[in-house]
Amino acid sequence: MTAMETPSILLVSLRGISKHFGEDETRVDALRNIALDVTPGEVVALRGPSGSGKSTLLNVIACILDPSEGRMELEGEVVFDGKWLRSDLRRLRLEKIGFIFQFHNLLPFLNATDNVALVLHLAGYDEVAASERAHELLDYLEVGNRKKAFPAKLSGGEAQRVAIARALANKPRIILADEPTAALDSKRAQIVMDLLRKLAREQNAAVIAVTHDEKIFDRFDRMYLLRDGRLEDVRGVSTAAA
């Protein structure tokens, strides 16, 4: 590293993250001593059998589930260290995190623009600014011509692009995706993943996706396997928990 260069801030940094449910005989260890770093521009996959802890890990990073122990930094801010260090987790999610799901979950009574703008209204944008930002994102994702269409009139690929636009609405740098291509055919799945890679690079964001979809495995920079709550690197530099 030269004198002019500065290290990138890790967008996600987990150390010793564990999560258990229940106590004593009923205790289930869903996550065990997870260590993971994700840098700007990276697209990372989480794989594993059902019940291995993938969704639990995603929900911990999303600040939806409380870790049982460990330390978590998001975009350089320590947000959990044995306890939450932010009182308003809803605001934290709104500031830092975008969500993409297997099914687009668009509101059927709102058109594409209004589905995206809704997130911006929650963040305090006025009507004009919210619409302008929504149109900008829909154009960026190449569905600007469908901005007035309602979800029932969108193809599966179009609806998922609108859902991605919604996830990007508040300019988060951490994008969490839960089976984002499972409902799409091969061609549309690869298009969606190429878009996620593009936005990660152009917006200096990180994408972490839970997936079983083998047709998109080559679109990831790193791939991890969760097994019995432990993280194993299957492609990239190992960060598996000891």
Give me the residue spans of the domains in the chain. Answer: 12-235
pLDDT at 63: 94
Rounded to whole angstroms, the Cα distance separating 111 from 227 reads 40
pLDDT at 35: 95
pLDDT at 174: 93
Could you tell me if 157 and 184 are in contact, meaning their C-beta atoms sit under 8 angstroms apart? yes
H-only helix segments in the chain:
54-61, 89-96, 112-122, 127-140, 156-168, 186-202
CATH-assigned architecture of domain 12-235: 3-Layer(aba) Sandwich (3.40)
pTM recorded for the entire structure: 0.83
pLDDT at 99: 87
Pair type for strands 43-47 and 97-100: unpaired
Under 8 Å CB-to-CB from 83, ≥6 apart: which residues?
Answer: none
Q: What helix, strand, coil percent values describe the chain, rounded to 5?
A: 35, 25, 40
Q: Encode the chain (242 residues) as per-residue pLDDT tens digits.
A: 444 444 468 999 999 999 999 887 788 889 999 999 999 999 999 998 887 888 899 999 999 999 999 999 999 999 999 999 988 898 888 888 988 877 778 899 999 999 999 888 887 888 899 999 999 889 988 888 999 999 999 988 888 889 888 888 888 889 998 888 777 778 878 887 888 888 889 889 999 999 888 888 888 999 999 988 899 877 654 344 33
CA angle 95, 43, 33 (to 5 degrees): 80
Sign of the torsion formed by the C-alpha atoms of 130, 131, 136 and 137: positive
